[in-house]
Amino acid sequence: MENNQLTEQPEQPDECCANCGNPAFLKEYPTKLCSECREKFIKFPVPKWLWLFAAALGVILLFSLFSVPKNILAGIALEKGKKAEKQHRFFTAQKEFEEVVEKQPSYIEAESHLMKAAFYNMDFVTFGKALKALEKKDIDDRELFAELDQLITKSRNYFPGDSLRQITDKYDSLKAELPGNILLSYIIKNDSDICAKMIYASILYDKKNYTSCDSVIHKILKTDADFVPGLRLLASSEREAGNYQESITCCEKLLDINSEYSYAIASKARTFLKMKKDKDALKLALQAHGMDKKDGYSIATLALAYHFNGNTGKRDEIINNSKKDSLVSVYMSYALDVINNKEKFRD
């Protein structure tokens, strides 16, 4: 007789070894295994290739622990620098780009932006180093490349060319002052030489011929409206001529070019001192010094600001500290002449 009923299977215990079904499993472990199965899994042979793979993975992980944070920090610094650059905060931008280049010396983008920031900070040592580092390198950002190319062209106006150097070197070797009439004759024949015009304007300024000085600088600015040395000298010339608002306008123009240009802030402070706005001048002088504590012009300006605000203790502290730095001493000599009444600064 055919049996249509399913054959009844023996019951398995509810709790047993997950691998072999042995009811005698080890209860002290979360995974239900008997002692034999647990021992077998513990001693399961691991292939050599798996060990090699694990070792390689460990090396990569170790390398990442050191390199990835460095790359991340460099990337953060680059973005901070580019943001500051867009805001014309070139002092901050340069510090950020220098940090990137220090971490990654061959980073073309960072070196390119560093070169730009250095130009607007008038740091031609860094500008030259960056230019040398970028020689024969491809700059993918065509807009940035065009900017750098323009800055290289502009930078030539800041230094004497071969023709002008032949004249200046002659008088330098004789330790003699370059006569204004010699320079003027050169300028008549080389009207496009901005550097020559700038030197001539400085000679006129030193002779206190402020009207002629201003005239020469305005001619320069028609060619290059952002020529920083010209705007700097014009700010001083207008100040000495008593044209205080014109002087301030020049300082503001410099700050439009570079909002963190400590020289422009300090120059504005000196104009305020001329106007006898001593408290406002001190605020600006402190701002300029805080921007760049190594700038000699800003340090000397702060000494003047403390002097006219009656803070002789702070003034003398700055004067004494300046003796340790020969470059600062050059700027401080004028401030000392004003403080010692050898130079008339204001009525």
Residue-wise pLDDT tens digits, 204-238: 999 999 999 999 999 999 999 999 999 999 999 99
Pair (228, 282) in one structural domain: no
| pLDDT reading at 8 higher than 80 | no
pLDDT score of 228: 97
Could you tell me the pLDDT band of residue 35, with boundaries at 50, 70 and 90?
confident
Residue 216 lies in a domain: yes
- The predicted model scores a pTM of 0.78
Residue 202 lies in a domain: yes
CATH of the domain at 203: 1.25.40.10
Pair (241, 187) in one structural domain: yes
Residue 197 lies in a domain: yes
Pair (212, 284) in one structural domain: no
Distance CA 81, CA 244 (A): 34
Distance CA 75, CA 46 (A): 41
Structural domain ending residue among the three candidates 198, 230, 251: 251
| pLDDT reading at 70 higher than 70 | no
| pLDDT reading at 164 higher than 90 | yes
Could you tell me the pLDDT band of residue 49, with boundaries at 50, 70 and 90?
low
- Which contacts (CB < 8 Å, 24+ apart) does range 269-272 have? 269/301, 269/305, 270/239, 270/301, 270/304, 271/235, 271/239, 271/244, 271/247
Residue 284 lies in a domain: yes
Pair (91, 123) in one structural domain: yes
Residue 18 lies in a domain: no
Pair (191, 276) in one structural domain: no
Pair (234, 275) in one structural domain: no
Pair (122, 174) in one structural domain: no
pLDDT score of 61: 53
pLDDT score of 4: 40
| pLDDT reading at 17 higher than 70 | yes
Q: What is the mean pLDDT of residues 138-152?
A: 92
Pair (274, 323) in one structural domain: yes
Residue 226 lies in a domain: yes
pLDDT score of 96: 95
Residue 99 lies in a domain: yes
Domain region containing 87: 59-134+142-152
Residue 266 lies in a domain: yes
Structural domain ending residue among the three candidates 120, 152, 184: 152
Pair (169, 240) in one structural domain: yes
pLDDT digits (tens, 9 = 90+) for 125-137: 999 999 999 988 8
Could you tell me the pLDDT band of residue 65, with boundaries at 50, 70 and 90?
very low
CB-CB contact of 240 with 271 (8 Å): no
Number of structural domains found in the chain:
3
Pair (69, 99) in one structural domain: yes
Structural domain ending residue among the three candidates 251, 283, 303: 251
Q: Which of 7-21, 179-193, 252-266 ranks highest by mean pLDDT?
A: 252-266
pLDDT score of 34: 76
CATH of the domain at 317: 1.25.40
The single-letter code of the amino acid at 49 is W
pLDDT score of 147: 93
Distance CA 309, CA 281 (A): 9
Pair (147, 63) in one structural domain: yes
